[in-house]
Structure 1
Amino acid sequence: MASSSARGRNPSTGCCRNDAMTGYRTVERESRIELVERKSRFIGWCFPIASEEEALAHLSRIRKQHHDASHNCWAYRLTPNGSVARYSDDGEPGGTAGMPILNAITGRELTDVLVIVTRYFGGILLGAGGLTRTYGKSAGMALEEAGLIQMLPGVALTIVVSYAMYGKIGALLAHPGLRVQDTRFEADVSIEGTLRLEEYPGFERDLADATDGTAQLMRGKELLFPF
């Protein structure tokens, strides 16, 4: 059983952290999954995070929500190169919970993510191997349910064209490196979106060619955007 929430990172906005414009992999949204292993109930949670404070706030909330659980084990990884990593077995045998959760994160080369796995003991011991496999599986399911995305260098832009020229730029607006977030039909047509940074020069040239130089292209901030 799995569910996801759009309360995580908004795909239409860029990452506010601009300290490493090389890109990284992370998750798109919050998620929740469940599985049962030999009568023990495991609930996996995944959260996009931008700081340790945010991770601890999510952890505190889940602990309060599931205060009657046998264990709330967790791991998180932060910064574009994943240099900040923490995990906890929360009373499970050492190395059988927190580390498998962290391995699920690092194995997918993800960062800026927190995974919590809540366990309700079902009365049957799983053994070290069983615990390691189940915590790792729960974490992996939660991560996949959250949606894996690549944060890449991009630039916000606004395009303003006449109605006559709008029909001529359909192919450009379908460019795989462009994400259109808003289109407004007023005196002219205004299009707002984000474009892969490396593709901006070519896009600028193609837009000018397609509209006989009449389109206005306004360049905004350079940030890391989900693509």
Structure 2
Amino acid sequence: MPVAPGPQQYTTIAAAVDAELEIKRSRFLCHLAPAGSEDEARAVIAAVAQAHPKARHHCTAFVLGPDAATQRSNDDGEPSGTAGRPMLEVLLGEGLTDVVAVVTRYFGGVLLGAGGLVRAYGAAVSAAAAEARRVRYALRQEFTVELDYRWGPAFEAECHAAGWTVVETEYGERVTVRFAVPPEQEKRARERLADLSSGAARPVAGETRYVRVTS
């Protein structure tokens, strides 16, 4: 389905990462993972809780959607506002979305106080975010075009040179290229195909959707 109007791009993380801090004998283990929906985020939270059944707290925060419209946090038994909210603020401050953070705490016997907890939970998420590889998704218009073999490689090279995304290439009797361009560059893409194929190529428009543009 075509996406509704929204941000032109957003940033998330490529893969899950872990970080651990020890503060006054308490261990804070942060698991930071990509999540494309609330169900995915809650599945990550459940998996972490299952992996650490003896931990006292599994505090959480997640941000979802290109516009970061869905924001959730949970203190999981810590004093209100000392865990989930600081974690959420770190995710927002890092400019991340479609991401979930779970900080598992093993209590070390020393009370940290409200301020200490805020700093500890935020620092755990910051440590994980520092290790994560960022990826960017941008709004793109997809097209599919069939080309003769003599034109296929040349057009793929053109896409890479222009910063367009080659989503998929299939080789059969002809070369079928599915590619994505910024919506404002649609005219340029059509003109380049026409020039390359002497007017024979007929790109078919597909969805406008978010496409990964950095690896």
Partner of 2:86: 100
Q: Contact conserved, 2:21 with 2:124, CA < 8 A, in 1?
A: no
Deviations 1:81-116 (A, max 9, x none): 333322122222333211111011111233332211
Partner of 1:32: 17
Partner of 1:169: 155
Q: 1:32 to 1:204 in 2, by over 3 A?
A: same
SS at match of 2:200: coil
Deviations 1:46-68 (A, max 9, x none): 23334433333332232222221
Q: Does 121-130 or 89-98 show the bigger shift? A: 121-130
Partner of 1:73: 59
Query: Quick one: distance in 2 between partners of 1:144 and 1:175?
Result: 31
Q: CA deviation at 1:215?
A: 2.8
Query: Quick one: distance in 1 between partners of 2:123 and 2:74?
Result: 16
Query: Quick one: distance in 1 between partners of 2:75 and 2:43?
Result: 18
- Match 1:197 to one of 164, 183, 186: 183
Amino acid at match of 1:54: E
- Match 1:224 to one of 204, 210, 213: 210
TM value normalised by structure 2: 0.82
Q: Contact conserved, 2:83 with 2:117, CA < 8 A, in 1?
A: yes
Amino acid at match of 1:33: D
Q: 1:68 to 1:224 in 2, by over 3 A?
A: same
Q: 1:110 to 1:168 in 2, by over 3 A?
A: closer
How much identity, in percent, do the aligned residues show?
A: 33
Deviations 1:110-154 (A, max 9, x none): 333221111222344444444323322221333454433333221
Q: 1:216 to 1:83 in 2, by over 3 A?
A: closer
- Structure 1 runs of 4+ aligned residues shifted over 6 Å read none
SS at match of 1:136: helix
Q: 1:226 to 1:93 in 2, by over 3 A?
A: same
Partner of 2:44: 58
Q: Contact conserved, 1:32 with 1:43, CA < 8 A, in 2?
A: no
Say if 2:136 is the partner of 1:150.
yes
Partner of 2:8: 23
Say if 2:32 is the partner of 1:46.
yes
Say if 2:117 is the partner of 1:131.
yes
